[in-house]
Amino acid sequence: MRLNRRDFIKASAVMCCAMSNRGANGSEGRLREYHVCLSRRACEENPELLTVVRDAGVTDVWQAAFFYGYWYDTVEGLQKGRAQVESLGLRWHPINVPLGHPGDALGDASGQTPLTPPARWKMAERFDGGKHSGTSLHDPGTAENVAAVQALAALEPDILFLDDDFRLAVGPGIIGGCFCGEHRAQFLQATGFAESAWDELREDALARRLSRVLRAWVEFTCDQLTACFRAQQAAAPNTRLGNMIMYLGAEKAGIRLTDYRDAPFRVGELMFNDASFNPLKGKTDELFSVLFHRRYARPESAWSETTAFPADQLSARNLAAKLATSTIADVRHTMFMSGMTPFPIEHWATIGPAMTKHARLHARLAGHAPKGPFKHYWGEAQRYVGDDQPYSLFLASGMPFETVETLPDDGRTFLSDFDARALEESSLKPGKGALVTRRALAKMPEATQAVGEELPALFALKRQVVQEGYTGPWVEDDKPAVCAWYPSAGAVLLWNPSEGRESYHLRAGDTAVDVEVEGLDAELVEMPQLRR
């Protein structure tokens, strides 16, 4: 069967329109929601801003409250902000930044916001002896955050998010925790290790070696952060407390992801400006992180981290393109943010129509998981000691993929370097399926192959899979395409990660469809014959 472009668009439009008004659990218009973080100051200085975002499709506004020992706004001021937001029919929520971040993570053009916690909060010490402010836990950090949550409870918010400076690592790929004398004493007492283990711990952290002592350190660090989170939860039991998880955030940053399964959960992104998002690898790394975090977050409890920073350094087209990652991974809430400075207001003219389109696409795909012969895996070694450099480019090879929690018995599972090292050292046990690594290993298990993270090599691997008997959908062209197949929905979503319009030849067995997709846009293809 071959459909021409006009018939394809007509069929897809009919199906999408039929689904567009279906919300979560059958409710109307609530399945894909759009939120934005805006300070009260920004809303008051630009009175039309709230109207513009509302008219674009935003339903919820989050306003800055307590930042690492300081009140960015008073409770009384937040009450005023809430009244302004709700007067326009929007929902209002507060957001805190509990621990601070080394450097300017706020983008406050006014320069009025302190960039470091107060002097009563101690500096953190890295495993190499260097010191930094923020992203560490000392007294009275937890107590002051608990008091702030209690004060905000008077406003009766339904949800309060902790921004991603609620972590114990400075940034992605860093083995976190504070190595100061105080935490050293606590760790050794809690674990029973001898004093000599401390030097071993520092050496293992430097070598990224998942030893017994380093594993215990990571768990100790996670215990600290989880205890702080739960203390804040207990301070306002009628408010849902959510955690924004950094890009590929996991145990090495103090974030034991299983501890947040029942909480509102913001999945981590990173490509906050055009320089990082424009490359194909930037887009696939971003999608990789979102898919990884969705292993732990229910779709109705998942929020995105759709961020531009600085506020004007990510184009409107790229902001709109980021919506595709949430649609593919079934993240129900988009959270736009840009620090304390809003996006350029003209961005919303581009973002708004994309929001409408992705809400329609998402309504068709919600509750369905992408499946395919290429497997997305991020294992224990990557989460505990890895450098957060995922093998992600296979996501744009035009072959469908799925996320797995353990090494499966089918398909081809892509291993990033630290999981590959664990495989080589036999601490990671393979399943019966094939494994793909960036480089050849000294001990290459059967059915493991080295494939460089380059498109020509991945296109060749895609054709090899088809030659071996794969009959599901795939993009025949050797050009970048994210091909997400939802067999339970009988549909394929094609995301074009390139700047210009592309025509794709989508094939499944004897069925072929030519699909045109605008640059950075996505299109849905109905393939009911492949429903499973």
Is the pLDDT score of 419 beyond 80? yes
Average of pLDDT values for 389-418? 98
Is the pLDDT score of 84 beyond 90? yes
Residue 110: which pLDDT band, with cuts at 50, 70 and 90?
A: confident
Residues 6+ away with beta carbon under 8 Å from 37: 61, 62, 63, 64, 95, 335, 336, 337, 338
Contact 292, 403 (CB under 8 A): yes
% of residues, the chain, pLDDT over 90: 90
The pLDDT of residue 104: 86
Between 17 and 517, name the one with better pLDDT: 517
- Identity at 265, one-letter amino acid code: F
Average of pLDDT values for 414-431? 96
The mean predicted confidence, pLDDT, of the chain is 93
pLDDT tens for each residue of 202-252? 999 999 999 999 999 999 999 999 999 999 999 999 999 999 999 999 999
% of residues, the chain, pLDDT over 70: 94
pLDDT tens for each residue of 275-300? 999 999 999 999 999 999 999 999 99
- Identity at 409, one-letter amino acid code: D
Q: How far apart are CA 374 and CA 453, in angstroms?
A: 14
Is the pLDDT score of 30 beyond 80? no
Q: Distances from the Cα of 84 to the Cαs of 41, 96, 343, 386, in angstroms?
A: 12, 20, 20, 45
Q: How far apart are CA 117 and CA 102, in angstroms?
A: 10
pLDDT tens for each residue of 306-339? 999 999 999 999 999 999 999 999 999 999 999 9
User: Can you give the pTM of this predicted structure?
Assistant: 0.94
Q: How many helices and strands, by DSSP H and E, does the chain display? A: 15, 24
- Identity at 289, one-letter amino acid code: S
pLDDT tens for each residue of 349-375? 999 999 999 999 999 999 999 999 999
| Residue 299 phi, psi dihedral angles, 5° rounding | -60, -40
Residues 6+ away with beta carbon under 8 Å from 89: 54
Cis peptide before 473 (omega within 30 of 0): no
DSSP string, 318-342: HHHHHHHHHHHHT--EEEEEBTBSP
Three-state secondary structure readout of 134-163: CCCCCCCHHHHHHHHHHHHHCCCCCEEEEC
Residues 6+ away with beta carbon under 8 Å from 383: 250, 251, 252
Q: How far apart are CA 149 and CA 43, in angstroms?
A: 23
Q: How far apart are CA 461 and CA 441, in angstroms?
A: 18
Average of pLDDT values for 444-459? 96
